[in-house]
Chain A
């Protein structure tokens, strides 16, 4: 078993435990209980750190795309998000199209 397989198995297990704990605690804990609020905050912070790294300092194939093109893709997605009434699919298509164009422009 590789480390990737082991990590996957452990993540599945812990994910089921988190969901199971939530089902058991539902009705007993208020959604604004400190433990619940802490879990939500850590979740958002981890995701925000991941997104920041994935855009600013990615690894692998995405690292071959210039930073300027990645930032242009992000800006294009945000503009499309506002222009198309906060709809995700047009926003993503707009962002990815901007990324491709910016990559062409920056060589």
Chain B
């Protein structure tokens, strides 16, 4: 029964241990003050470590091994290979092509999402209430559509022979679109996917920026107007700076989302396009890690992606901090 008795762990800094000097009490209080915040943060830390720290640790860990299905199921010995997976990737020209594709594709998606979303947000502030409601309902519909469904619908629309888009184009006399395959060419394939991505992600920008514009106190703008500021001046010198925090959040989110695109590419280009021309990092990683069962190599890709996203975010934050006030 002794095993069930409560166990009191011996703390290394047990206050009962003899200490020297009269400052012990002060030190004790100071120490407690220093530890107290950590105590309150502990639940959050535990959750973070379990949900974020451990997976990232395993990701890095796996990326340092020759870890394939044979190793997982215990048929072949596990071998620590250090940075070999990374060396393999960096030596592979396909990796660099895919990385370039990803960066370019994400950049285009981010720019267009922000442009479309913000323009519509500005437009929304000028519209009559019922028209605005219509705009919101329609865009929220696009937002609510799951990526898989959206991609499938988009593919129907752009089907070479049966799609509405090609039929319409042929109908208005552009006969070269008879049986035109949008996914045949690398860039038209990317363009097709990008249009779907923009379509399903601009509503987030629209809603957020619209809310930001509405939150700008009318007094400030009125004051500017009384001072004789022109409309572009008001937009540039008053509204934009006040919208800065929202624009930052929206941009970072868009970068992260578009960098991590998977479903749209996977579905619309049938797993990476003709001869892999439309591969992006996430689909490439899936192909290597799961389809080809090269878990080590796939993890290395995951680590690279995580690191890249962190760097992008940090750099972006730094630039913004330097050009203006803090968030």
Q: Are chains A and B native binding partners rather than an unrelated pairing?
A: no
Chain B residues engaging chain A, CB cutoff 8 angstroms:
none
